[in-house]
A and B are shown apart, each in its own frame.
Chain A
Amino acid sequence: MFNLPTETFWLVVPWPFIWLTAGIVMYFVNKRQDDLEDKYYAELDEKELK
């Protein structure tokens, strides 16, 4: 593919896709953590108000 030897192709070409996926995955992982944190702080505020 692309006239590249197999070795070079498989060592190089997957990477942009790997990194993009990693970025997207980390986005959602971090988002989940952020949401849990927000919930935690919201509950904390409620408790303190009581």
Chain B
Amino acid sequence: MKEVRTESISFEKDLLKESFKKMEPNVKYEIQSLIYYPYLFHEYKVEKSGLINRVGQKTGCTIDGMNKIGALVDTAPTFIFKKIKEKYIMKRIVNNNEAIEIAEQFLFESIYSRMKIVKMPRLELQRQEEFYRPYWIVKGKGKLTSFYLTVDAVTGKYHPL
């Protein structure tokens, strides 16, 4: 057992099953396990020099701990602590320094696309936290097909495996 920083589950088993049943009733759903996916959350203070208003605004950026890409921007997740069996925890691949680089790149790109600015603002890293998001593994059994889905237990988004 390992204690990890994680997020609270908004989509519990029963709710999930119900929602899937509503979406596609002709399938039998089996919610098999809950695995924990690593992310790195970065909180930055943005110093926008030369522009009016909002100095020292805070922003956040989450990096996917397995694939070297950015995942979320501007949301600050609320963390809780939980003890989880190690076999359900995915081992992070991206290391802390790599993550910082990717985060800054990701932030730059997202700032660029949102605001027309000439000079890139200065980013000051406030904190870097590793956290795990729970994902459900769901097996669906239709008449002639069977499939696996993973469902983000926090947002409810899903994708086939």
B113 at the binding interface (Cβ < 8 Å): no
List 5 tightest A-B contacts by C-beta distance, closest first: A32-B144, A33-B144, A29-B144, A36-B144, A36-B145
CB under 8 Å from chain B, chain A span 1-43: 29, 32-33, 36
Complex Cα distance, B145 from A29, in Å, reads 11
Complex Cα distance, B145 from A36, in Å, reads 10
Query: Chain B interface (Cβ within 8 Å of chain A)?
Result: 144-145
Closest to A29 in B: B144
Query: Chain A interface (Cβ within 8 Å of chain B)?
Result: 29, 32-33, 36
CB neighbours (8 Å) of A33 from chain B are 144
CB neighbours (8 Å) of B144 from chain A are 29, 32-33, 36
Complex Cα distance, B68 from A12, in Å, reads 63
A46 CB, min distance to chain B CBs, angstroms: 18
Complex Cα distance, B160 from A46, in Å, reads 20
Complex Cα distance, B142 from A33, in Å, reads 12
CB neighbours (8 Å) of A29 from chain B are 144
Closest to A32 in B: B144
CB neighbours (8 Å) of A32 from chain B are 144
CB neighbours (8 Å) of B145 from chain A are 36
Complex Cα distance, B145 from A33, in Å, reads 8
Closest to B143 in A: A32
A10 CB, min distance to chain B CBs, angstroms: 32
A41 CB, min distance to chain B CBs, angstroms: 15
Closest to B142 in A: A36
Closest to B145 in A: A36
B46 CB, min distance to chain A CBs, angstroms: 37
Complex Cα distance, B144 from A32, in Å, reads 8
B147 CB, min distance to chain A CBs, angstroms: 12
